[in-house]
Structure 1
Amino acid sequence: MAKRYEMLWDCEYCGVKKLLGLTHRHCPSCGAPQNAEKRYFPPEDEKIAVEDHPFVGADRKCPHCASPSAAAAKCCGQCGAPLDGAAPVKTVSAVPAPAAAPVASVGRKRHPGLWAAAAVAAVALVGGLVATFWTKSAVLTVSGQDWKREIRVEKSAILDKDSWCDAMPGGAFEVSRSRKERSRNRVPDGESCSTRKKDLGDGSYSEEEVCTTKYREEPVYDQWCRYRVRGWVQTRTETSRGLGRSPEPFWPEPSLRTGDCLGCEREGSREEAYGAAFTGSDQALRCEFKEAAKWTPFTPGSRWKADIRVATGGIVCDSLQPAAG
């Protein structure tokens, strides 16, 4: 169970300090009422425990004279006004912290290099936005088409590999194992405790120990394997390319040493690229496509409407539309 101690307050009228929040509802020197919103926690060596004083709730602030009264009271102990609907007094934790004093500008150390760097960054940002979004419309004519298709050729070979042993592929040989850190575990390692004070609002505060679990990290080790295994490695690229659509784009037909032997070959990944060149602007323009279907309509001599980036002169390829007429 949390322990309770008396809050302290200072008389605002006669200046007596460190009066007890529960015991001294009025100043014993001048009789002035306690200001509940000016209570504060005592130093550790001046704490006074609360004895035989049950907690019934936070004091309520009289709406007429602003004096605090016990939560169980029906009328204000200072002016006698009814306390119906009276709000609880503010507790220490609820009192807003004083606003930070403005920092004087006199004598502040200036860093011209930082300002210059910020200015350069701002200019670069604006330039990038202009280059990206400032465009003008133009009608362009297709001056040519080109295309390229590639096939990677792979060869069966003995490869040197390493991995966690539980992920080692079947067929691996010449295996060597070693111990290696694979992950880390968080392990409980005692507690970190602190004392928490809570203003109860009746002139007292509670104090209890709050503890959180501390953790340490411990390495988790596993088996790391180095091995040799049969696999595929890229050895060359076969390419076909052309201008226009005569002939139509086709895939190269690499000559392969097929089979299941070391040194035998197979086709690997494929890539294709298609380009269209345009005239009609101040400079030569070009768009590239990854699919033949998107490239096919751009036949030489056809006219297209497009957006041109003013800053760079580049074409916004996604904006291409057939030109009327």
Structure 2
Amino acid sequence: MDEPVYEMLWDCEFCSTRKLLGKTHRYCPNCGAPQNPAKRYFPTEEEKIAVEEHEYHGADRLCVACRTANHAKTKFCVGCGGPMEGAKSVALVSGGGPEGPDRAAMAEVKEWEKREHAGKLKLAAKAGAGLLVLAALVLLGLRLSSKEVELSVNGHHWEREIEVESFRTMKETSWCDSMPLDAYDVLRTREVRSHESVPDGEDCKTVRKDRGDGTFSEEEQCAPRYRQEPVYDHRCRYSVDRWARARSENARGGLSDPPAWPKVRLKREGACEGCEREGARKERFTVAFDDKGKTRTCLFGEDRWRSMAPGSKWKGKVNRLTGLDCSGLTSLP
């Protein structure tokens, strides 16, 4: 079955006669001016006029010499008699909507808006790039703006810590397919785990297509429609017995106190409910320096920490952003 075909409309730009028929009125019946294909537009639903037994040969072509619209098969222009060799097809009306504005004017407006938008984007991009460069330069300047300082050691401090873990029952939840094997007291429920797209018919609309010869056709275009359906799965809430951090034991001192690990008293040893064990061990060795009344600190390994005698002088660099460079300290006589 052929698509239904209807008349396009056009407005005479010389006498302002409106709603002339695109196929029937190749010239304005009021003033005789030739039809300007750029003035064609789609009619409203109430204004549609069907074209019966219309033989379509293609879109009209514009005469190179006088810009008159000619039928696709015309050999010589009906306006000036010039040959139609090399003539280009007229531009088609897009959008498929009802009566619309002048396409040339709209094209000019859209082009201006496009240039305006592009200009704003370029300006914003340049401003953003400038700010990024400025921020990078500021950060670089701060990193490079180090000053040399003379320091004296005025304190030593050490701290050692042992974590204590206890074996206890913990409540956890996960999808049942990832539940640990040693879980117990399991409670299963059905919950939404994800969604899937399920076909749910089609969304159809009527689309108008300008055929370029003063007529247009209509066709129905359909696209599949989907709905989101929940996908259920089993969610498990359960108990598991695990080692977990309970507390920590600490020992602290200075240079005169030999570093030692704290004594840990476990409530009960083994793998029973409430049993305890030693966990991770941590230690920190800190040296404090005097910088003209300002205290600066560094963390070192124990050997380096011991090598810095109280009152000894050191030279180093202080950065405004990162502080004292502890790795670059050199001793002074």
State how 1:132-211 maps to structure 2 within 5 Å: 135=142, 136-142=145-151, 143=153, 148=159, 150-211=161-222
Q: Counterpart amino acid of 1:164?
A: W
Gaps of 5+ in 1: 101-124
How big is the shift at 1:163?
Answer: 2.4
Gaps of 5+ in 2: 96-102, 111-131
Query: Contact conserved, 1:188 with 1:213, CA < 8 A, in 2?
Result: yes
For residues 315 and 14 of structure 1, the distance between their equivalents in structure 2, rounded to whole angstroms, comes to 82
For residues 180 and 272 of structure 1, the distance between their equivalents in structure 2, rounded to whole angstroms, comes to 46
Give the equivalent residue in structure 1 for 2:62.
61
Query: Contact conserved, 2:62 with 2:70, CA < 8 A, in 1?
Result: yes
Q: 1:259 aligns with which of 264, 270, 295?
A: 270
Q: Counterpart amino acid of 1:70?
A: H
| Cα separation, partners in 2 of 1:323 and 1:16, compared to 1, 3 Å | farther
* TM-score (norm: length of structure 1): 0.70
Q: Which runs of 4+ in 1 moved over 6 A?
A: 128-131, 244-248, 250-253
Query: Contact conserved, 1:286 with 1:315, CA < 8 A, in 2?
Result: no
| Cα separation, partners in 2 of 1:141 and 1:2, compared to 1, 3 Å | farther
| Cα separation, partners in 2 of 1:161 and 1:59, compared to 1, 3 Å | same
Q: What is the number of equivalent residue pairs in this alignment?
A: 290
The Cα RMSD (Å) is 4.1
Give the equivalent residue in structure 1 for 2:71.
70
Secondary structure at the residue paired with 2:320?
strand
Give the equivalent residue in structure 2 for 1:315.
323
Q: Counterpart amino acid of 1:30?
A: C
For residues 72 and 262 of structure 2, the distance between their equivalents in structure 1, rounded to whole angstroms, comes to 91
How big is the shift at 1:62?
Answer: 2.3
For residues 255 and 40 of structure 1, the distance between their equivalents in structure 2, rounded to whole angstroms, comes to 92
How big is the shift at 1:26?
Answer: 1.6
For residues 86 and 93 of structure 2, the distance between their equivalents in structure 1, rounded to whole angstroms, comes to 22
Asked if 1:80 corresponds to 2:81, the answer is yes
Secondary structure at the residue paired with 1:16?
coil
How big is the shift at 1:223?
Answer: 2.3
How big is the shift at 1:2?
Answer: 4.4
Query: Contact conserved, 2:313 with 2:331, CA < 8 A, in 1?
Result: no
Query: Contact conserved, 1:150 with 1:238, CA < 8 A, in 2?
Result: yes
| Cα separation, partners in 2 of 1:25 and 1:148, compared to 1, 3 Å | farther
Identity of aligned residues (%): 45
Name the structure where helix makes up a greater proportion of residues. Answer: 2
How big is the shift at 1:169?
Answer: 1.6
Q: 1:305 aligns with which of 307, 312, 317?
A: 317
